[in-house]
Amino acid sequence: MAQLTYDILFQSGNARIGKVKTVHGEINTPVFMPVGTQATVKSLMPGDIWDTGSRIILCNAYHLYLRPGPDIVKAAGGLHRFMNWPGSILTDSGGFQIMSLGHMVSISDEEAVFRSHIDGSLISFSPEESIRVQAALGADIIMCLDHCTRSPAPYDVAKKAMDRTLLWARRAQKTEVSAHQSLFGIVQGSIYPELRKQCALELACMDFPGYALGGLSVGESKQEFYDILHYTGEFLPREKPRYLMGVGHPLDLIEGVMAGIDMFDCVLPTRNARHGRAFTFSGPLNLKNARFAMEFAPIEEGCDCRACQSFSRAYIRHLFSARESLAWTLVSIHNIRFFQRFMDKIRKCILDGTLAGFRREMEKLYSAQGDCRG
């Protein structure tokens, strides 16, 4: 078994169409990855996810470390067998939890120490331990432990976090993983171009199989986000895949692709689904609204997902009113399928040179939403 390979098949400007290959299959890029934090995409069976066209999902090493524990997952044959998922898996390292659980974390150059949100016990998480956990989980793509900060972060705080991220990346590279696993480095540096450039160039010298942009969409303005996104991409190796972490708003996906990003993940499709919000190519819908009580059309005409092929807006609205969990399942199926269709459309637009026009169309339908990373 070998690490992933990445081939660029077509490029227009910075936007590119490619193919990532792991031992668990081929992935067309740009790609959107559904989030299955605890080895499950909420309310969905693995077959439901596969049927949306998804071929890679994300799981979280920190949460799986707490329960059920990497030893149990390894004894089960790894995450793929444990959760019965045939496609590829990327595991996040726990770096985001350093930020999101900040009041429960103490951090030094040696390690991050978490107070478990489950039972209050202290958990020591070093860059080496993060890699050992992800190696035991058996993911195809694993991430270096990074120090992520919220924006706005003072320059000295951002620089210290970037320096620590680079230190941890070097230590992570020395930790053994399985032959089929690929370790990605993560670029930090908050909104400061010089820090992003330094981090990207130093990581590039380490020759990782792929690179991620972390610490974006965490409180900075949309313009700052986009400026750093485009700027940083100029310093990453062209021949390696690029992953924008925790970003999934439709407009952000297009902007990311225009900046040369190949991979995205976000909880947005399923989190919105649980609140009755559906994505369509005609704009968002709130299926809890009373106006859908007598609408017997599918969520979106022309959508080939199982929810749209079999159920009406009126039925789904009834499920939400009755607080039946099937509502979550059906809208989650539709939303994840929408995101895969959306990426199909982006790839087509790259080929025919119409991506800027597609962005203008989507700007009329979708206003920017807040942070959606999970």
* Rounded CA separation 308/331 (Å): 9
For 258-297, b where at least 16 C-beta lie within 10 A, e where not — what string?
A: bbbbbbbbbbbbbbbbbebbbbbbeeebebeeeebeebee
* Known catalytic membership, residue 92: yes
181: nearest Cα among 141, 234, 123: 141
**Spatial distance between the Cα atoms of 239 and 204, rounded to a whole number of angstroms:** 11
156 labelled catalytic: no
Residue 68 preceded by cis peptide, ω within 30: yes
Query: Which of 48, 92, 140, 262 does the annotation list as catalytic?
Result: 92
Q: What is the CA radius of gyration of the chain?
A: 20
* φ/ψ of residue 214, rounded to 5: -110, 175
> Strand, helix or coil at 107?
strand
Q: Out of 51, 71, 265, 344, which one is annotated catalytic?
A: 265
Catalytic residue ranges: 92, 265
